[in-house]
Amino acid sequence: MKIDKEKGLAFLRTHQQSSNSNKNKDDCDEWFEEWTEVCEYFINNPDIEAVPLFLGLGSIDSVEGFEFNQYFSNLVAKLDPDEVAPHLIEALSSSSLLTRTRAAEACADVLSSNPSYINTLLSIVEDFDENDDVRSFCASAFSLIGQEGCFDVEKYKKRVKAVLKKEEDEDIIMFLDDLLDEDDEDNGLTRESALSFLREHQPMPDSSKDRRRELFRQWDNIAYYFIKYPAIESIPLFIGSLGDLSGNGVYERFRYVVGAHDPELVAPYMISVLTTSTFLPVRILVAEACTKVLSKNPEFHDMLLSRVEDLQENHAVRSYCANAISNISINGLIDVPTYRKRVEAIIEQENRMHKIKVDCIVSDLKEFLGGKVFEKPNYTHIR
């Protein structure tokens, strides 16, 4: 079935939580093939009308978890955050926990300065009767948006401090503390003290066994320091500090640290880790960070594509690498014809493997093939 905007929207409307038309995945292979096509269409043709319909989808196993979040994150990231925000506000007031959770998790990708949006996020954090995951996602987004300068932190400081007085969730405390700490210029850090902390924590402790909030909060402060004051020597130290996949929720900052640096200087470190490291949490976090590295380095391109080609590789690593090389193509930083045959072979292989499953890798590689015209690299700015 050839999907266009109207057919895609019609499909999503038919499978809302309020509908009785949700299919059982064991009974309807054709349905899931159509679902895949709808997702791929809206990733390649972002449309604000699809946002509330994605949020309202019924609970379907193949749509949940990593696959759904990856598609929806890709969709909202390509739209105007001020257009997306009202839809998230509405979804966050839904009676459906599934819809509220989806919306809350997406908020970190929507850096809008809409006052109603900001107030909604904080109001949910203030609601101690709300689901813990929803509150935590909203606290993380509220903190991140504030630190990005989208609103005046001072205006909300009294309310944030009131929450902190009663809050028991360590992740929420950390997120809100991070926001208030922005008033402390650089948190008393210097370049050398920040590097010294990283050197002394190679790696950080496993956060599932050691939840010392101050230790992980300091790592987070250092991450923000090097986002503000990039220093390439911090990159291998950050990589070596990653002790697990979460770090009490702070390791998500790593990709922003990487993104703050010259992509041509960062790329060799990404290549090294993804071709030599056997520690899966680090591989996943570094692969995710690659989505922020818009490099023209052919070795980096080849490494990313090699990871996607390797069926023995972790699926999250493969997906992030596919997304990274797609971003590079979209920005006109790679010679697409050079890689076309390899990419087409991967797409064919993925389609055979995932006949009834949504596959983000295929969507990203199709975007890669439609990227901008490549311009010859100019490395003269690199010392």
Based on the domain organization, do 354 and 288 belong to the same domain? yes
| Boundary residue ending a domain (45, 79, 113) | 79
**Of 374, 373, 359, residue with least CA distance to 43:** 359
Question: What pLDDT shows up at residue 292?
Answer: 92
Write down which residue in 52, 79, 106 finishes a domain: 79
Does some domain include residue 146?
no
CA distance 150 to 41: 31
- Report the half-sphere exposure of 237 (CA within 13 A, side-chain side): 20
For residues 345 and 279, state if they share a domain.
yes
User: Of 79, 103, 128, which residue is a domain's last?
Assistant: 79
What's residue 187's pLDDT? 67
Pair 324, 278 in one domain:
yes
- Provide the pLDDT for residue 10: 92
Closest by CA position to 192, among listed 220, 214, 225? 225
Beta carbons of 270 and 286 less than 8 angstroms apart:
yes
- Low-confidence residues in the chain, pLDDT < 70: 1, 18-32, 59-70, 182-187, 207-212, 354-359, 371-383
Q: Tokens standing for 322? A: 């596919």
Residues 241 and 312 in one domain: no
Paired tokens of 336 = 């697409």
In-domain check, residue 108: no
Quick one: 256 and 277 in the same domain? no
Residue 132 lies in a domain: no
Please report which residue ranges of the chain form alpha helices under DSSP H.
5-14, 29-44, 50-55, 65-77, 81-92, 97-106, 115-126, 132-147, 153-166, 170-181, 191-200, 213-228, 234-241, 254-259, 263-276, 280-290, 298-309, 315-330, 336-353, 360-369
Task: Give SS3 for 248.
Answer: coil
Q: Tell me, what's the pLDDT at 383?
A: 30
Q: How many domains does one find in the chain?
A: 3
**CA 313: distance to chain centroid?**
20
User: In which domain, by residue range, is 238 found?
Assistant: 201-261
